[in-house]
Structure formats: structure tokens, C-alpha cells
Amino acid sequence: MPTPRVLILRAPGTNCDLESAYAFELAGGKADSVHINQLLETPSLPSQYQILCLPGGFSYGDDISAGRILGNQIRHHLQETLVEFKSAGKLILGICNGFQILIRSGILLADDEQGEPATLTWNASGKFEDRWVKLSVDGHKSVFLNGIESMYLPVAHAEGKFVTRSTALLDHLKAEGQLALRYKSLHQSNGHVPYPDNPNGSLADVAGVCDETGRVFGLMPHPERFVDPTQHPRWTREGLQECGDGLLMFQNAVRYFAN
Amino acid sequence: MTLWEIDIYPAEGQPDRLGNTVTGDAADLDLAKDLAVSAARGFLVQGDIDETQANQLARELFADGVVERTVVARAGDARLSEPPNGKPQLLHVMLKPGVMDPVAQSALNAIADFGLKVDAVRTFRKFWLPETSAETVATLSSRILANDSIEQVVVGPLQLDRLQLGAPYQFELVHVAILNLDDEGLTRLSREGQLYLTLVEMQTIQKYFRDLGRDPTDAELESIAQTWSEHCSHKTLAGRIAYRDENGEQRFENMLKETIFAATQQIRRDLGDDDWCVSVFEDNAGIVRFDDEYNVVFKVETHNHPSALEPYGGANTGIGGVIRDPMGTGLGAKPICNTDVFCFAPPDISTSDLPPGVLHPRRVMKGVVSGVRDYGNRMGIPTVNGAIYFDERYLGNPLVYCGNVGLIPRNKSRKEVKAGDWIVSVGGRTGRDGIHGATFSSAELTSESESLSGGAVQIGNAITEKMVLDVIMQARDRGLYSAITDCGAGGFSSAVGEMGEKTGAEVWLDKAPLKYDGLSYTEIWISEAQERMVLSVPPANWDEFESLCRSEGVEASIIGKFVETGRLQLKYNDNVVADLPMALLHDGRPPIVRDAIYAAPATKPLNLPAPGSLDLNDTLKKILGSLNVASKEWVIRQYDHEVQGGSAIKPLVGVENDGPGDAAVVRPVLNSYRGIAVSCGMNPRYGDFDTYHMAASAIDEAMRNCVAVGADPSRISILDNFCWGYTDRPETLGSLVRAALACRDLAIAFGTPFISGKDSLNNEFSYEGETGKQTISIPPSLLISAMGQVEDVRKCVTMDLKEAGNTLYIVGLTNNELGGSHFAFVEQLEGGEVPKVNTDIAKQTFAAIHQAIQTGCLRSCHDLSEGGLAVAVAEMAFAGGMGASISLAKVPRNAGDVADLSLLFSESNSRFVCEVPAGKQAEFEQLMSGVPHAALGEVNESKRVSITGQTGDSLIDGSIAELKEAWQSPLRW
């Protein structure tokens, strides 16, 4: 199996780049960390890679709003590069801040006449929160979620509430299987997922969204924070799993290029 | 040139987050019920842009079109002052000029990326209130909306036509006339110049310059004041002290050196070839061995006075500052986790009872937590440990301890400045922020401090520091510099002064990059602007270093040269503005000589309530709900405690991820299972009885927290942070020296080295009360922070009960030690014996518990601290979602009667509760054979905590749901 190369894009304030690179390597990929300035200087750089990962953090401090400034940089200078990357059948993963950047840049969901059709805005709780959530996979669209039914992963964000401009868009994305990852209730519930199981108040309990090809995927939870069994919050009670739930996502990405 | 104002409101149907916060805060502080507030965030943008472009920026940069709406107009336009929802009263809150505004800075760059030309941006918040009196507006402004030390409130529309950009500086060399001053004049100069030096010190300076036959320049005087400040030189504790207590008199030439440092030296000698300390009490943080490849470094600092005035900025720059300590240790460590401990007054105090100049403790707490959260989270450093202590005496002077652990390759743990190297400043630009922070932190707070010391209060910019960290790590690994240190208190004056101590330094102050025009050479020299590091870069490496920095957008500037002169020479455009021998700065300060007296307070017995007179279920719930014990989940969840991916034991544990873990464990090297455990110990209440036992208990508590999760007790290193009142008073200093003696004794007895430390003195708050000057002194507050090492994190245990049928043991001796306990606190009882530490038993107990964890005998383990056995068992039960049934009959104790109440609630040290499965009982009892232990009862499915007394009476029987609710509800904000 060829070893896919992963470009981990970092910018001022990115802070999950090392563990994201580690997760890809654990899954069998070869990861390089590339600074945004380097990419702006050499926009052809991604052609040497199969996977682009936008890791978590606070790019440019999340000043103005989360992911906005880097999202705009991509819009202004890298749109063509990424469209090309996408249409070459390659994979793009945005985790947490990376998801916010994908939404702001228009790479994940195409603009409508008023601009970005959806957003990740302030948590309904009004604050940053770090907590573990149960997730269920809806449909088979996302390459990254292939064969996964549910996962248990941590979220750690202040701006993760998924909102669309229109109900029609939400329905459309749902029908197309693009609302690929959802927060799930820990307890019995009749469809409604209450806080904190839905940690931010996202519409339709959306935790992750993929594009129409399933090869571009953004999610608020952090799969790279559960690749080793000792990262589970209750391993001292429940024993050590064979591997972390999040590792499967990175393995899916790497395996995608084996075929 | 046009000045545009862009107001951003929540769109129709979206929550008004900012407005709702104000409504909530007004209700919390009893200022107004159901206050209806509408709020907007806004930007002032000045540049050559037209209306279309301004609208484009509003749409594509500033606002989120899905959930927000904007009003865009030229500043002053009537459209900007049209009240939404009929609320007529308009207020704007904006940062005072010169205060760090990271969002405005980012916005400038982001606008440039659109290809538009703007020259200034400022942010503000806009509030619309119902018709209210001017008095209410003023109260809301000062209590909630703005902080006068950094912000200004504009009532009504913003009438600005341009943003101020600073005026150019005209050089003028300033001398300070000191030669002919009498003692009174010297004292006045020290105070009015905010030098905060003693008369003897001022006389020493005067003599030096009289011998030279000239007056000092302002930069020279400031350099001396900064270097000699309490904050930078720790002159009181490192000074000569004559100490008297019940054992007679002891004289110290250097108190810290002869107690705490000496203990570490003895431990290292005793360890011989097995010495695992690398660098202690010399660099910015202590360094110890971790594994074959890495060392770990640890430092905790305080940022009390700035946090009292501006809680958000004070705590923000507190954590930002301490992160720079490991970054500036050796050749630079990578920060791997944070710890933060706070002391506040209880948050339920009535606003009308606040002394003048004091912020409400609730506001202080929220601000401090947000400040730490925003900096730590943005830096990508998990905040894994902490504690909060509440006491009325922290009202005007809260304490904010911030700590950081770093990881550094073994061969990068030493630095050496070389003469001929460039002095290089990296990171943030220099502004007027933080002038006189070092001397201010050494002074007492008063109700006037806010107006006096505005410049000492700052806001940090975490991303600038993260960018610096990113390039420093690469430059370190490429070997591009020979030394590094952080710019902390005293700014360049301290950083360059320390680095050049052995060589000498020539500094070109005009070369330092500035945030804005107008700074004098002295302001540049002593500014404490954040996010700056100073490096010693060999000229041969400069090009590579500079290009690395530039590639990531980090500013690096040569501001001077280390020279073999032994002098500190400052220049501004070829004018010599200071020229001092390094020896004067570092060895010229006259020793501080102090008397210290300790007289033990009169002891009195604690009279226990008659058996049966208390509802003990109720007592237990009161202790669980007391603020020091109650759940801090509201705080902990706001910190990212898992970033960097090494989290092995989280701060919150148990079946619902919400129980109070003893210590968090992280794996700093992702492909290894070796871990670092971080914990702390502190109990200011014991200090009211005896600061010796307070200190001993704090060390024991920090140790047992670490040991309880699986850290090796022979590899724990600790830090001291003394926060005390006014130590010019012999009794106050006496109580501190006594604590230091305990630190020495306990460290030696445990073989646990102190590797670094810090003190903050003069933590008092004075104001004019109805009966004249009132002073509130903080209680003696010694924080002990522990860094433990875990060989394999997969052997760690947590405190939550795991399985019905397992046996619960207590390990350690329980004594009649209810003095200063939480039982005494909630039942309002006075007197009693304060907990002491039997170091022989403690050391053996720690070793035995460690063995039991290593051999897999324990399913859970929890240390006993505030609230004693009853609280520990209750916490274990509700964290695990299990029941527990225990009897006090066999609890090991010293000879003599120990009442049921003492067995339940005594806070005797060095104790643990352990959960042992049936198959491991024999092995466990064998391991514990040398230490006091007894089986208490068992874990069950009942979901109740049942405790019976020595005669078999039921003392406590409560459901874990109600106990947990009592524990969670007080700080569930």
C-alpha cells in the first residue's frame, strides 16, 4: 500500500498540528507541517500531497470570529489551489478550527447569493467548553466515516453551533447525507438531543458536515484526541480499548488511497 | 481619509449574547433585575476606503451574515445612533489608547489582505439601555460594562473624526537631581517616582553618584529600581533576618538560601549519582530529569496586583508571563501543561458592602477565569490542574497563581551568553504598557491604586506568544542562539540586565520596534509590554534566524550587543543615556535586615457538639457545598485540558466525567507512556493556627494528590509560592519564616526537592473607612505545587468507586485534628488542634500506596483533605455512581479516644481511602503491613453513602444524588 502524504496546514494560532500529524502517522500516513505563509508563496505545494488537514486551534486568535481571517486568506489566494486539490480526488479534513475555516472559505459548502450559506457560531451556552460527546454517523457519504457507526470524542470550542441561513438548505444537506456526523443523546430521548449531549445547540445536532463528494469533511469534535486508549476519560473504569475511536477516521483517510 | 463605524448586532431571532451577559451580571450583583440590554460589537476603521468597500468589509470580514446584521456609516452619522428595540440610552465602551487590542491588530492585517489601505482600527462595544438615571448608568458602567483601568465609557454617540496614532518623540536626556537631597527628599523621590525603594537603598544610590560627582539619568535610576525591586530580587526573603520563636533565635544571612535551597542541596548530595535534579533555583524555571531524552521544567508565578485592578488582563498576562518562563529556561522548553490556583473573597458578598476601589469578587472570579482560559486555550497548552480558595480576607487583594510545565531536550537545558552575540528582541512590540509593573507589584494596594497604576495593567496577545514559541522551538533545534530569557517584570531592563550580568551589554534603545511613536528611551527600557523574548544570537547565525522568524511573520530585531565590559551601557541614537557597572545592579544593593517574630496564638480546645446534636447528613452536605470543596466544573470545562493529545488522567473523572480527580496526568511525548502528574496543596485556614503546620500540610497534600493517581513519590519535585501580607511587620515575616522552616524540614524528610519558587509580599489592601484607615491583610498563603512522574500511565488509578463488592480501606492515622477544618468552618466552631505531619509514617505510606498502585491492587484511591473521611468517601461514591457502606470502628488512630466526629471530619494528613478487589486483599494488606491501615467497609450498588460510628450507630446515610447536588450546585454558574 502506498503511503499517502498529508499536508498539515498551520497558521499563527494553530495548536493541534502536532497531535493531528501524529494521528495520521499512527494510521500509516506521512505528515508534514506546512505554514500558511509557505503555502501562499508556493501555491503548487499541495500537488505533492494526497490529504490536506486543517487542524484545530485559534488561527489568528479567532479574532473577529473563529476561522474568519484564515478562511478569507484561502478565499483570496488559495481558492484555485484547493478546488484543484479537491477535483483531483484528494481528501480534505478540517477539525474544529479547521471546520470553521472550511466553512468560512467556501471550500466545504458553496456560497449562495448572500455569501456563506451556513456558519458555526457561538455555543448556546455562551462559553468555551471541553467535554466528551457521543456521536452517530448518518449515512455513508463521508469517506472519513466509512464503516463507523458511532464514536465517543471530545469537543473543545466556543463557536461550534451549526446554523444554516435557510431551513431548505438544512433539509437539502440532510437529504444528500452531508450532515454526516451528529451529536447523540446519552440517554433515551425522542429525537431531541439536549445540552450537554448536543454541546453547542447545533441545528439538527450537526457535529460534522461533508461536501457533495464526501471527500471534504469538517467536524467540531477532535478525533486526534482519541487515538490512544489512555485518552478515554473513563479507561480506569472501563478498561483500555484496543484503539481510540478517532483513529479509525485517520485510517479511513489513509486506506482510501490504498485502492 | 475616512473614519467608518461598523456596528454588528445579532440578526432577528438570534440571541444577544453580550446583552444577555450584562443582564445576568446586573442581576447577580443586585444592581438591576431583568435589565433589558441590547448590545453590539463594533469596529472603527480609518483609511482610504469608500462606502462600497466599507460595506464589503462589514459583510466579508467583520460580521457573520447568517446570524448577524450590520450598520455601516461614517463615524458620527445619525444612523449609528438609532436605538434598536426602543432603548434610548446609548453607551460605548472602548479600550483606552495604548492598551493592547489584539482584535484590532488582526483586523488591520486582515483588511490588508483585501488589498485595501487602512491605517488604524479600534474595537468597541455598544450598549443600549432603557431610560435610566445618570447614577444607574454610572454604576452599571463601573461595576459591569467597563473597567476604568483599561477602558473608557462614552455616553451617547461616538463623536470622533480620527483615531489618534501617537506623536513623535523628541529626544531629551533627563537627569534626576539626587546628589543634594536629604532623607525626606530621597523618600519622596522613591515614592513619587514609583521606585518603591527603601531609604537605605536610596542613600546607597545617592552615595554611588556622589562619588561619581554627577546625577543619575532617569534610565539609570529606573534600572537600579527595577533590578533592586522586591519583585526582581526577592530582597526580603533572601535578606538578613533575625527570627525568634519558642525555640529561641536564629539568624539568617540569606533566609531562602539557608532553608529551602539548602534542603534541595542536601537532597541532591544524599542522592549522589542518582541525583535527578538538573538545574534548581538558577534559571527561569527549575529543571529535573524526565527520561533518557528529555528533562521537564516547572514554574509557578503570581499576578496578584494586576488581577485586583483588571481581573481579565491581570490573569491573562499572568498565565502568558509564566508560560514564557519555561520558554526562557535553558535554551527553551516546550510548554506542556498549565496549573492555575486562585484565592478570592466569597462571591456572594453584597455590592453595597464593598470598600471603595474594590471590584466585586464575582466579577474578579469571572474575569480571572476568562483571562486564564483565553490565553491558555489560545496557546494550545492544556490547563490540567488548579484550585480555588475562598476567604473574606482576599477581598481587595485576590491571589492569582499561574504555573506551567515544559519539556526540554536534555542537551538543550543549559544556556550561556557569549560576548559578541547580538542582543535580539523577538515577538511583541514595545509600548507604554506595564510601565512600573515590577515596582508596583512590590507595593501595597490602596483604593487609589486604580488611578495611580493604570499603566501597570495590561492585556495579552496569546497568538503573538504562540508565534514566538513556534519559531523559538525551530531555532533552538537548529542551534541558532546561545541563550534566551523572557521579558517579564522590568522588561528589557531585567532581561538584558540578567543575561549580561557576567559579560556586559550595550543596548541601542532606538532600535527596539515600537507599537506607536512617542516613547522615551526610559519607557522603552522599562516597558513590560507582553510577548517578548530576548535572545543572544551569534552574528554568524543572524541571517538564518531572522529569515526563520520572518517566514512565520515574527518580528526579530537586534537591539544591542553583549560585550566584555562588565557594564550596562544604554544608547539612544548614539547618545549614552545610561552607563552603570553590572556589579552595582546585581551586588550593590544593601542587604535588607529584618526582624521576624513568631508567637504561637493561644491554643484553646475545640468543644465538640454533644453526640446526636448535629444532623450529620446536613453537616456533610454543608461541607460538600462549602466553596473550597464544591465542584469547580464550571471553571474546569472552560479550559481546554486535552489539547496536545497527551491527556491520560483528566481533572474530572468518574462515571459521568465530573468527579474531583486528585491530580491530572499527561503524556508529553506521544509515543511514550511515561507521564507527568501535576497537583497542588494549600490551606490558608491552617495558617491561623500555625504556619509551620500549614506549610507541612500543604506539602503533604500536594504529595498525596500526586501519589494517589500513581506518581512515584521518590520522583516528585515541588515549588513554593509565598503570598503574604506586609512583611516589614516582624510578626508577619515571622509567620513566613516559620513556614519556610517547615518547607526545609519536610523536603528533607521526604527527599522531595524544591526546584524553584517565588514570593509576593505586601498583599494588603488599604482604604479610608468610616473609622479611618482600614487595612485587610491576606491570610498567609503558601501554595505548594507538585510535579510527579509516572513510569507508565496505564497503571494510573482514579478516585471514583468502580465495583460493588470491593473492600474500602483507610490508610494512615486519624487524630483529633479539627482545628482549621471545614467541619469547624461550617459548624462555626473555634479552636482545636491543627493537622500535623508525621513524616516517617507519611513517607512509608506514600511508598506503600505507590507499590499498591504499581502492582494493580487498587481500583480507586482518593486522598483525604478538606472534610476528612466523610467527604472523601462521599466524593468517591458519587463520582463512581456507586454506594458505600463503612464503619468507623476500626479507623487507625493514635492512642486515646477519638470521637466519631473527629473520625468523620478530622483533616489529619497523609491519609488515603483505597478500593481493593477481593482477589487483591491479601497482597494489599501485605504491602500495607508497615503502615496504619484498616478495612472500613465495602462498595455496593445501593447508591447511598452509609457510615456507622464506633458503637454501631448510623451517623450518615444519604443518597449519592443529594450529596452530589450539594457539591455541584454552589458554583454551577
Residue-wise pLDDT for B797-827, tens only, equals 999 999 999 999 999 999 999 999 999 999 9
Answer whether A61 sits within 8 Å of B378, measured CB to CB. Answer: yes
For residue B22, being part of any structural domain is answered with yes
Whether B387 contacts B470, CB under 8 Å: no
Answer whether B463 sits within 8 Å of A231, measured CB to CB. Answer: no
Answer whether A69 sits within 8 Å of B106, measured CB to CB. Answer: yes
Which residues from chain A sit within 8 angstroms of residue B551, using beta carbons? 35, 37-38
pLDDT tens across B402-443, in order?
Answer: 999 999 999 999 999 999 999 999 999 998 877 766 565 556
- Residue B451 pLDDT class (50, 70, 90 cuts): very low
Please tell me which residue of chain A has the smallest CA distance to B8. Answer: A64
For residue B131, being part of any structural domain is answered with yes
CA distance linking residue B585 with residue B582, whole number of Å: 5
User: Who has greater pLDDT, B95 or B377?
Assistant: B377
CA distance linking residue B510 with residue B69, whole number of Å: 45
Of the residues A116, A159, A210, A224, only one is catalytic, namely A224
Answer whether B800 sits within 8 Å of A237, measured CB to CB. Answer: yes
Which residues from chain A sit within 8 angstroms of residue B106, using beta carbons? 60-61, 63-64, 69
- Residue B705 pLDDT class (50, 70, 90 cuts): very high
Most A CBs within 10 Å, among B372, B463, B633, to test the A interface:
B463
Please tell me which residue of chain B has the smallest CA distance to A227. Answer: B645
For residue B205, being part of any structural domain is answered with no
Of the residues B231, B234, B436, B850, only one is catalytic, namely B231
Please tell me which residue of chain A has the smallest CA distance to B103. Answer: A63
pLDDT on residue B602: 86
- Residue A259 pLDDT class (50, 70, 90 cuts): low
| B26-37 b/e (C-beta count within 10 Å ≥ 16 → b) | bebbebbeebeb
Answer whether A35 sits within 8 Å of B467, measured CB to CB. Answer: no
Check if B862 is active-site: no
Q: What is the DSSP letter of B798?
A: B
Residue type (1 letter), B13: G
pLDDT tens across B316-363, in order?
Answer: 999 999 999 999 999 999 999 999 999 999 999 998 889 988 999 999
What cell was used for B938?
Answer: 465495602
- Helices (runs of H) and strands (runs of E) counted in chain A: 8, 11
Could you give the C-alpha distances from B657 to A235, B562, B940, in angstroms and in order? 11, 53, 20
Answer whether A13 sits within 8 Å of B650, measured CB to CB. Answer: no
**Of the residues B136, B155, B174, which one is the last residue of a structural domain?**
B155
How many domains would you assign to chain B?
Answer: 2
Kindly report the nearest CA distance between residue A193 and chain B, in angstroms: 17
pLDDT on residue B450: 47
- Residue B194 pLDDT class (50, 70, 90 cuts): confident
What cell was used for B937?
Answer: 467497609
CATH number at B860 reads 3.90.650.10
What cell was used for B404?
Answer: 506551567
Containing B318, the helix (H) or strand (E) segment is helix B311-327
- Residue B455 pLDDT class (50, 70, 90 cuts): low
Could you give the C-alpha distances from B35 to B25, B359, B759, in angstroms and in order? 10, 21, 43
Whether B31 contacts B64, CB under 8 Å: no
Which residues from chain A sit within 8 angstroms of residue B654, using beta carbons? 234, 237
Kindly report the nearest CA distance between residue A157 and chain B, in angstroms: 8
Report percent pLDDT > 90 for chain B.
Answer: 86
Answer whether B62 sits within 8 Å of A64, measured CB to CB. Answer: yes
Q: How large is the average pLDDT for residues B181-190?
A: 96
Answer whether B65 sits within 8 Å of A116, measured CB to CB. Answer: yes
Q: Inform me whether the pLDDT recorded for A247 exceeds 90.
A: yes
User: Which of B107, B470, B796 lies closest to A64 in CB terms?
Assistant: B107
Least confident of B228-232, B236-240, B357-361, B404-408: B228-232
CATH number at B78 reads 3.30.1280.10
For residue B536, being part of any structural domain is answered with no
Please provide the DSSP assignment of B156-169 as one string.
Answer: SS---SS-----PP
Kindly report the nearest CA distance between residue A234 and chain B, in angstroms: 7
User: Which of A35, A38, A63 lies closest to B106 in CB terms?
Assistant: A63
pLDDT on residue B805: 98
Of the residues B92, B175, B234, B303, only one is catalytic, namely B303
- Residue B96 pLDDT class (50, 70, 90 cuts): confident
Residues 6+ apart with CB under 8 A from A102: A54, A67, A71, A92, A94, A108, A216, A218
pLDDT tens across B359-412, in order?
Answer: 999 999 999 999 999 999 999 999 999 999 999 999 999 999 999 999 999 999
CA distance linking residue B340 with residue B314, whole number of Å: 13
**Of the residues B155, B184, B205, which one is the last residue of a structural domain?**
B155
Q: What is the mean pLDDT of chain B?
A: 94
Residue A145's φ and ψ, nearest 5 degrees, are -105, 10
Answer whether A222 sits within 8 Å of B653, measured CB to CB. Answer: no
Whether B353 contacts B294, CB under 8 Å: no
User: Who has greater pLDDT, B133 or B932?
Assistant: B932
Containing A152, the helix (H) or strand (E) segment is strand A150-157
Containing B412, the helix (H) or strand (E) segment is none
Q: How large is the average pLDDT for residues B597-608?
A: 91
Containing B913, the helix (H) or strand (E) segment is strand B912-916
Residue B69's domain spans which residues? 2-155
Kindly report the nearest CA distance between residue B220 and chain A, in angstroms: 38
- Residue B250 pLDDT class (50, 70, 90 cuts): very high
Whether B418 contacts B401, CB under 8 Å: no
- Residue B233 pLDDT class (50, 70, 90 cuts): confident
CA distance linking residue B246 with residue B734, whole number of Å: 12
Cis amide linkage into residue A196, ω under 30° from 0: yes
Residue B751's φ and ψ, nearest 5 degrees, are 65, 30
Answer whether A58 sits within 8 Å of B793, measured CB to CB. Answer: no
Dihedral sign from CA coordinates of B310, B313, B319, B320: negative
Please tell me which residue of chain A has the smallest CA distance to B56. Answer: A115
Which residues from chain B sit within 8 angstroms of residue A109, using beta carbons? none
Kindly report the nearest CA distance between residue A152 and chain B, in angstroms: 13
| B222-233 b/e (C-beta count within 10 Å ≥ 16 → b) | bbbbbbbbbbbb
Place of cell 467527604: B871
For residue B913, being part of any structural domain is answered with yes
Nearest residue to B361 via CA among B386, B396, B334, B333: B396
Residues 6+ apart with CB under 8 A from A44: A81
Check if B303 is active-site: yes
* Domain A5-256 belongs in CATH node 3.90.180.10: no
For residue B965, being part of any structural domain is answered with yes
Place of cell 525603594: B197
Please tell me which residue of chain B has the smallest CA distance to A59. Answer: B463
**Of the residues B139, B155, B171, which one is the last residue of a structural domain?**
B155
Most B CBs within 10 Å, among A63, A77, A169, to test the B interface:
A63
Q: What is the DSSP letter of B145?
A: I
- Residue B100 pLDDT class (50, 70, 90 cuts): confident
Q: Inform me whether the pLDDT recorded for B133 exceeds 90.
A: no
Of the residues A16, A53, A96, A210, only one is catalytic, namely A96
* Neighbour-count burial of B237, counting CB atoms closer than 10 A to its CB (0-12 exposed, 13-18 middle, 19+ buried): buried
Please tell me which residue of chain A has the smallest CA distance to B470. Answer: A12
Answer whether A127 sits within 8 Å of B638, measured CB to CB. Answer: yes
Q: Inform me whether the pLDDT recorded for B446 exceeds 70.
A: no
Q: What is the DSSP letter of A115?
A: B
Please tell me which residue of chain B has the smallest CA distance to A118. Answer: B66
Cα B864 to chain centroid distance, Å, stands at: 25
Please provide the DSSP assignment of B86-119 as one string.
Answer: G--EEEEEEEPTTS--HHHHHHHHHHHTTT--EE
What cell was used for B369?
Answer: 477565569
Containing A87, the helix (H) or strand (E) segment is helix A79-87
User: Who has greater pLDDT, B448 or B62?
Assistant: B62
Most A CBs within 10 Å, among B642, B666, B806, B939, to test the A interface:
B642
Of the residues A16, A53, A159, A222, only one is catalytic, namely A222
For residue B62, being part of any structural domain is answered with yes
Please provide the DSSP assignment of A169-187 as one string.
Answer: HHHHHHHTT---EEEE-SS
pLDDT on residue A189: 66
Answer whether B113 sits within 8 Å of A224, measured CB to CB. Answer: no
pLDDT on residue B30: 85
- Give me the residue spans of the domains in chain A: 5-256
pLDDT on residue B453: 46
- Residue B894 pLDDT class (50, 70, 90 cuts): confident
Answer whether B102 sits within 8 Å of A114, measured CB to CB. Answer: no
CA distance linking residue B335 with residue B324, whole number of Å: 9
Which residues from chain B sit within 8 angstroms of residue A129, using beta carbons? 637-638
Place of cell 483588571: B310
CA distance linking residue B797 with residue B413, whole number of Å: 32
